[in-house]
């Protein structure tokens, strides 16, 4: 075999090796891990009116809550939250007791952006006077 043929064989083998390594690394490449929020768990207190109770099939408690001016977005910025009707899961410690739709309530909820949904009511109780609620009666 002459020098020219030897160089052609070496070049061919190097090309095959490079292609094989590229293919193997592409096949073994895993998807990047989903971004995990580094935002701390935030706790908020609010007041509102119960719109709907959860049903046994797992629906969430619906509350028309007041504005929450200190609400933080996932990135930690204070963005506030307008009054709205919002679904809330209940923590196991939160007991509804005899609360019903139309009742004015005060409640505490946490927001943990690593959960889905991120919000969860931890404490809820009936308000003595519903007339002090700062919500519009229009559905938001």
Q: What average pLDDT does the chain have? A: 81
Report if residue 127 sits inside a domain. Answer: yes
Report if residue 36 sits inside a domain. Answer: no
139, two tokens = 């559905």
Report if residue 139 sits inside a domain. Answer: no
Report if residue 37 sits inside a domain. Answer: no
Domain of residue 56, CATH code: 2.40.50.320
What pLDDT sits at residue 93? 75
Q: Are residue 5 and residue 72 in the same domain, yes or no? A: no
Q: Are residue 61 and residue 25 in the same domain, yes or no? A: no
Residue 95 has pLDDT above 90, yes or no: no
* 90, 120 Cβ separation under 8 angstroms: yes
Mean pLDDT highest for which of 11-15, 84-88, 92-96, 125-129? 84-88
* 18-77 confidence digits (pLDDT tens): 444 444 454 545 555 455 557 799 999 999 999 999 987 878 999 999 999 999 999 999
Q: Are residue 63 and residue 128 in the same domain, yes or no? A: yes
Min mean pLDDT across 9-13, 64-68, 76-80, 81-85 is at 9-13
CA atoms within 13 A of residue 110's CA, in its CB half-sphere: 14
The boundaries of the domain holding residue 24 are 1-30
Residue 140 has pLDDT above 60, yes or no: no
In the three-class reduction of DSSP (H, G, I as helix; E, B as strand; rest coil), residue 50 is classed as: strand
Q: Are residue 73 and residue 101 in the same domain, yes or no? A: yes
Report the pLDDT averaged over residues 94-102: 91
pTM: 0.70
* 45, 106 Cβ separation under 8 angstroms: yes
Name the strand (E) or helix (H) holding 87.
strand 84-88
Q: Are residue 22 and residue 64 in the same domain, yes or no? A: no
User: Edge-to-edge strands of the sheet including 61-65?
Assistant: 84-88, 61-65, 42-52, 104-111, 119-126
Q: How many beta carbons lie within 10 A of that of residue 70, not counting itself?
A: 12
Q: Are residue 25 and residue 91 in the same domain, yes or no? A: no
Distance of CA 122 to the CA centre of its chain: 17
What pLDDT sits at residue 1? 60
């Amino acid at each position: 075999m002459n020098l020219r043929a030897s160089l052609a064989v070496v070049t061919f083998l190097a090309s095959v090796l490079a292609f094989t390594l590229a293919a193997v690394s592409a096949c073994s490449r895993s998807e990047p891990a989903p971004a995990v929020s580094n935002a701390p768990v935030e706790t908020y207190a609010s007041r509102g009116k119960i719109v709907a109770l959860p049903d046994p099939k797992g629906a969430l408690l619906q509350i028309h809550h007041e504005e929450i001016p200190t609400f933080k977005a996932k990135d930690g910025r204070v963005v506030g939250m307008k009054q709205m009707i919002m679904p809330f899961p209940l923590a196991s410690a939160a007991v509804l007791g005899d609360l019903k739709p139309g009742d004015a309530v005060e409640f505490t909820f946490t927001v943990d952006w690593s959960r889905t949904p991120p919000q969860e009511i931890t404490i809820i109780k009936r308000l003595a006077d519903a007339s002090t609620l700062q919500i519009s009666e229009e559905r938001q």
